[in-house]
A and B are shown apart, each in its own frame.
Chain A
Amino acid sequence: MKKVGNHKSFSRIFFSLALTLSFSLSVFSQDSTSVDVAAAPATGGNADAGKALFNANCAACHALDKVMTGPALRGVADKYDKEFLYKWIKNNTELIKAGDPTALKIYNENGQKAMTIFPQLSNTDIDNILAYTSQPKPEPVVAATVVDGNGGSSNDSGISNNVILGALALVLTMLIVMLFLVNNVLTKIAKANGIEVQKDSKSLPIWKAFIKNQFLLVVTAILFLLFAAYFAYGYLMQVGVDQGYEPIQPIHYSHRIHAGDNGIDCKYCHSAARVGKHSNIPSLNVCMNCHKNISEVAEETLAEGNEYGVNYNNEIQKLYNAVGWDKTTQTYTGKTEPVKWIRIHNLPDFVYFNHSQHVTVAGVECQTCHGPVEEMEIMRQHSSLTMGWCINCHRETNVKVEDNAYYAKIHEELSKKYGVEKLTAAQMGGLECGKCHY
């Protein structure tokens, strides 16, 4: 009993040690996300309100530090007269028409692209925006600290583990040595006292006894064979099943950010799933719908990327290289390099699967088969994609017949025949071989 108690206390110590260590780790990493924002210089506006306004109105075409559709705007208040900026922002077309030399200069410098007019903005609003654009650029030190912190903490935990293990080993060796010594001492005492230490009576060794017992032998053999068969079967059945397949893709594309954080609908990019057999890997022009304007991620996102060892901005640059987009001139170069994605979901050739049947007709959520994609940083195969998996779902899922004239009559007649309220896909013929194999 005592021994058991000892064991418990040992593991308790170990557990609490581990806990504290891991906590300290997360605490440590949380510290590092603070970004110090320098106070806005006195332009008479509220930089926070300006940021909100900037994001709502200007961010589609402008960034603070880089050229997008429009020029970079940091420090724009220093370049131009404030009165001019009021007029320009509210209605630049009028200014250009009127022949204002500064306006014309801006117009010509930026490729004669007219800017959207914002008559709804008040002068205070514009002040606020200008206050935001006049903030100095934050120092890019932050990222470096994060990396350091991460590395340090993981090293710490490694050392402590080794220490504990070493201590345990030491204790065990000591125990063994002690037992040996005790045994020696006892034998010596016995010798001194003239007591003969009784040796074990010569009985059959256990393995020989086992071999002699035919019944036990047969039972063991049968059990062994059964277990072997069970595991062999299990092994063989997973040949060709790639559940959890998570290859490294040529561009680190995060479904977590796109589908999770930004809540983009799956079918915005995988649009063919609505009408076709395939759920296509989106062509790069679809990416550019957004990424024409998003060439850099927010700093918090960048920091998140570091946890996965990836710089999202570099990944966006890979997209630009592939599609041939020059972000400085904001033009397509025409030099493209199609991306060779690694296909994750591979059905065998002898299976016909149609996405539109499931997505559009049956209204199955993408996540039903593909799992919590919106949480996946790296896409992986969630389901086994085996025939048994398909069939189970067909047996359990009701056919979505609401508002579909195709099903009205068939459903009425069949449900009467089977005496059920709602038909499953199987009852509609979803288990027939020829429906998927042809």
Chain B
Amino acid sequence: MASNKKYWKSVEELNENSSIVETLRNNEFVEQIPVDEFLGDKEALSSSATSRRDFLKYVGFSTAAASLAACEGPVVKSIPYVVQPEEIIPGVADFYATTIADGFDFANILIKTREGRPIKVENNNLEGARTGANARVHASVLSLYDSLRLKQPKIAGNNATWGEVNAKVKAGLEEANAQGGAVVLLTNTMASPSTDALIDELKAKYPTVKHVIYDAVSDSNALDAFEQVYGVRALANYDFSKADVIVSVGADILGDWQGGGYDAGYAKGRVPKNGKMSKHIQIEANMSLAGANADKRMPMNISQQKAALADIYNAVVNGASPKNAEIAKVVNQLKSAKSKGVVVTGLDDVNAQLVVLAINSAIASEAFNPTKAKLVRKGNAKEVSQLVDYMKAGKVHTLIMSGVNPVYTLPNAKDFSEALKKVKLSVSFSMKEDETASITTIAAAAPHYLESWSDVTIEIGHYSVAQPTIRPLFDTKQFQEALLTWTENSVSYYDYLKGFAASNVSGKSWNQIVHDGFAMNEALPLVANTVDFSAAVSQLTSVKNSGLDLVLYTKTGMGDGQQANNPWLQEFPDPITRVSWDNYVTISKKDAERYDLKNWNVANGGMNGNYVTLKVGNVTLNNVPVVVQPGQAVGTLGLAFGYGKKAALKQEMQVGVNAYTLYKNLTANQIVTITKEAGEHEFACVQLQKTLMGRGDIIKETTLEIFNTKDAEVWNPVPMVSLDHQETPTTEVDLWTSFDRTTGHHFNLSIDLNACTGCGACVIACHAENNVPVVGKSEVRRSRDMHWLRIDRYYSHEETFSGDVELKEGTSGLLNSVSTLSDMEDPSENPQVAFQPVMCQHCNHAPCETVCPVAATSHGKEGQNHMAYNRCVGTRYCANNCPYKVRRFNWFLYNKNSEFDYHMNNDLGRMVLNPDVNVRSRGVMEKCSMCIQKTQATKLQAKREGRLVKDGEFQTACSAACTSGAMVFGDVNDKESQVAKLAEDERMYHLLEHIGTKPNVFYHVKVRNVK
């Protein structure tokens, strides 16, 4: 039966005489297809000598020629040394001890070199070494091979020679000396005693020379306070392994507070031993790493924090009882710990810093060590602002800068660049032609720290040496060499340094110092001056804040931003927000609702957010994206430094906003106003789910009380399954017959969730060791990040994770469950936080292995789940069948591909690649190999030497990078090994144990010291 129905495409068709309908009927396409445009002009086309036939012939011929040429194998040239250096054996790695001191990060490290190329940073584990290489230090080796480095000195933007540069500077110095004009050296904190001596020599020759130290991220107030009390411009040092109660007021003790490096000591006290572990109370505004690891976290704005600190002081020193009940509890715990307690603060306020020193002296804290004060920050905010004034007034004749970029990092950068025009001669020693170096008279190309000699005093009584590990890649000269030239000293800096060490360091020969990387000196105890602390306390409480607090901080990945062109760091997801390639303002949920700000997830799996404008005084910062941060104190905002840089940066790395513009008076705490703006920001966030939804078996945790009093079955139950209708532990059920793994090695990796601080050093170490590619912001946003090792971060929905479990278990009925569970996706306003590093679990019964159609992934006798890239055809079945989601697919070719212009696109950047590990191509699956290249190398060395492998020799990149001792790797068949003991520990559990994959990675139940 024919239908009478008529379908209408548009309302126009109702009108019979419509011209639109008429045209549509006559024309196949709605719009004219621009054929002429792509065919060019007809005349040329018809008069062309090349006919269509000819064209096809050419195509055919060239295709045939190309395919024939492809049959011929390429001729590979191999060029040996003419004279081979004694210490280089092709294929064998050399390690050199050196020290990083870039003005922000300071650590004793080892550099692994292959055929003379530094390729990886390792921790220096000699006793006495100041370790704690963080993510940035691990990534610094890639900054050496930055293709945008300044390759030779420049005068007024034109290439010049060092002879010309030195002549010009000397002439300038002489002229300044003759005219009595000031010469200012503006440097970062070099903490280098030999450089100080050189500067003194320059001062002796040119009396108008003045040295101003400027830290981009200033610790000026803490330095002032310590100087007032102890008479030395240094930072108080703490050893958290000696503390039972740690009270931190706004100090991110696991981040970059006071130069960082406290993880190892902190983690030592955090692992329950003999029923005891330290208690950590964190009072703060932003959610920091320290806050995430704390047993108790109290979000407070700045004035509340100051009041709390004053209360603690009054209670501890004067015996007053605090009004706030929570603070009273803290005080009680602190008091009962006696000398085992410690209070620290990160408040950028000299009074707060003074009060902390007073409290720690009053309780005679064992963790507080004023004698071994840290010398890694020396910047003076007042002198810096004075300098700008002097420059404006035309009083500065010559300005010589080294390691600083004030045009980017100063809040009054505009003033500075204006004032710079009044300076007759300006020099900037810089690795990059950055904002400052591009407007100074002379841009002096400085070498990377891996190309230079130096010495560093990280703390009083400690002397470190930095040695070059590669010949300078470019025509660079270090600042010290230039100082020697200017003082007409003909010795090289190396000889000068050697002489300096000989006369200033006792106990170790020069060769020994260079070999070890450091030496110890006697440290004289510092004597405290009498300071009126009560005045400080009253000043502390006098200021009451009405508006929003802005707390500026440094991100674990980017720090102060000097490595902004480092793609590893840009792609490193922030441990707390899990956002990469960005900075953003963090805001509490309450404030977000007040200003109508949101984050939401879109269809491709990306996270979006609103924009705001921030206004501090009369400075505004536009288009700042917003992240709603659980745990952010109400009335506070957080914003990270180090982003929004433009000069000498690849297009891809020019992300974020410059927070330094809001860094008024170089103070991290500011009063701010916020207004919502139009537009959506696209984030590259690698973890969208925020809570565990009450699944307590993923991160098992318990309280210290239960841990001490109850059996392991209570707090670490083995999951049960039904076998023949009997409840049976999963560990006893098997679908497969197991291999006998008692002979040979059997590798296991232990991860202690109590010791893991989430610092992410392992993530970058894994990148460097395994040639993990960088994929860029838009790919990360599509969840195509390639990290072999991720650190999952979870928030609790209730106040605690155990509350979540109770809530989930307690709901019944379908409707109830649905609504409860969807509620549980949202984190609490002040949640508990847990970190969990997840890499390939190397299951003994691996689900990925059984589904691979080409057997590209298979199991080794030693416990590793192998992945043969050349065999993989890219079906991705394995990734879909992996319950841990640790497999990564190469969607594209990430090297030699202009679409991914990171470090694998040029010869320089590729020098960092580890020659022992394959660089994967497009279309193959990859994943953590448990650093099989490292275990193989260790075994081979033992075989060559005809001995057994000692415990601790087997390492993975992540376990070697872990300073907190959370990751321990080894052979469980060696019953004496540390990992074998950890595997037998009561706290041991496997991730998703109930599915029976029998992983070779295991975790340790997190124990929280809460009452």
Contact = CB atoms under 8 A, between A and B. Distances in A.
Interface of A: 239-240, 242, 245, 247, 271-272, 275-278, 280-286, 322-324, 336, 338-343, 346, 348-350, 352, 354-357, 360-361, 403-407, 409-410, 413-414, 417, 428-429, 432-435, 437-438
Given A247-B75, A405-B948, A417-B740, A357 B868 contact: no
A413 B860 contact: no
A323 B84 CA distance: 12
Contacts of A286: 84
24 contacts: A245-B73, A272-B91, A280-B91, A283-B80, A284-B80, A285-B81, A285-B84, A341-B78, A350-B868, A350-B869, A355-B91, A360-B944, A406-B942, A406-B946, A407-B943, A409-B948, A428-B744, A429-B744, A432-B860, A433-B868, A434-B866, A438-B916, A438-B917, A438-B932
B867 interface: yes
A429 B83 contact: no
A100 B956 CA distance: 71
B860 A277 contact: no
A230 B84 CA distance: 49
Contacts of B81: 283-285, 338
A414 B92 contact: no
Given A242-B73, A348-B870, A434 B864 contact: yes
Contacts of B870: 348, 350, 437
Given A282-B80, A406-B939, A413-B744, 10 more contacts: A272-B90, A280-B89, A280-B90, A281-B78, A283-B83, A322-B82, A336-B82, A428-B744, A435-B860, A437-B871
Contacts of A417: 740, 743
B878 to A, nearest CB: 14
B919 interface: yes
Nearest to A415: B743
Given A361-B943, A433-B858, A275 B89 contact: yes
B616 to A, nearest CB: 52
Contact of B742 (A278, A403, A413, A432): A413
A276 B943 contact: no
* 3 tightest Cβ-Cβ pairs between the two chains A and B: A434-B866, A277-B91, A276-B91
Contact of B933 (A271, A352, A355, A413): A352
Contacts of B77: 340-343
B854 to A, nearest CB: 11
Contacts of A434: 858, 860, 864, 866-868, 929, 932
Contacts of B918: 349-350, 437-438
B80 A410 contact: no
Contact of A239 (B71, B742, B860): B71
B492 interface: no
A53 B530 CA distance: 91
A361 B79 contact: no
A438 B75 contact: no
Interface string B931-954: 011001001101110111100000
Contacts of B82: 283-285, 322-324, 336, 338
B83 A284 contact: yes
Contacts of B866: 432-434, 437-438
B861 interface: yes
Contact of A277 (B75, B92, B948): B92
A323 B80 CA distance: 11
A245 B75 CA distance: 11
A240 B73 contact: yes
Contact of B92 (A275, A324, A339, A357): A275
Contacts of B71: 239
B951 to A, nearest CB: 15
A414 B71 CA distance: 45
Given A410-B743, A417-B740, A434-B866, A339 B80 contact: yes
A235 B215 CA distance: 67
B27 to A, nearest CB: 53
B90 A278 contact: yes
B980 to A, nearest CB: 15
Contacts of B856: 433
B76 interface: yes
A247 B918 CA distance: 27
A432 B75 CA distance: 31
A354 B929 CA distance: 19
Contacts of B89: 271-272, 275-276, 280
A322 B89 CA distance: 21
Interface residues of B, number: 49
Most buried by B among A343, A354, A434, A435: A434
B849 to A, nearest CB: 11
Contacts of A438: 866-867, 916-918, 929, 932-933
Nearest to A350: B870
A245 B74 CA distance: 12
Contacts of B740: 417
B862 interface: yes
A342 B75 contact: yes
Contacts of A336: 82
A434 B84 CA distance: 33
B869 to A, nearest CB: 6
A78 B81 CA distance: 45
A322 B80 CA distance: 11
Nearest to A427: B861
A115 to B, nearest CB: 27
Interface string B13-49: 0000000000000000000000000000000000000
Contacts of A435: 860, 932, 936
Contacts of B919: 349
Contacts of A271: 89
A336 B743 CA distance: 54
A272 B90 CA distance: 7
Given A437-B866, A438-B929, A354 B73 contact: no
A385 B176 CA distance: 71
B946 A403 contact: yes
A23 to B, nearest CB: 40
Contact of B861 (A239, A283, A429): A429
Contacts of A360: 944
B217 to A, nearest CB: 40
B944 A275 contact: yes
A133 B637 CA distance: 96
Contacts of A247: 75
A413 B746 CA distance: 14
A282 B368 CA distance: 57
Interface string B58-80: 00000000000001010111111
Nearest to A399: B943
B872 to A, nearest CB: 10
Contacts of B929: 434, 438
Given A278-B91, A322-B82, A323-B82, A429 B76 contact: no
B871 A361 contact: no
A276 B944 contact: no
Nearest to A284: B82
Contacts of A324: 82
A229 B932 CA distance: 39
B91 A361 contact: no
B944 A356 contact: yes
A432 B861 contact: yes
Contact of A357 (B73, B933, B943): B943
A340 B78 CA distance: 6
Contact of A437 (B744, B869, B942): B869
A240 B75 CA distance: 12
B871 A343 contact: no
Interface string B483-500: 000000000000000000
A285 B79 contact: no
Interface string B265-283: 0000000000000000000
A116 B744 CA distance: 57
Contacts of A433: 856, 858, 860, 866-868, 871
Contacts of B83: 283-285
Nearest to B869: A350
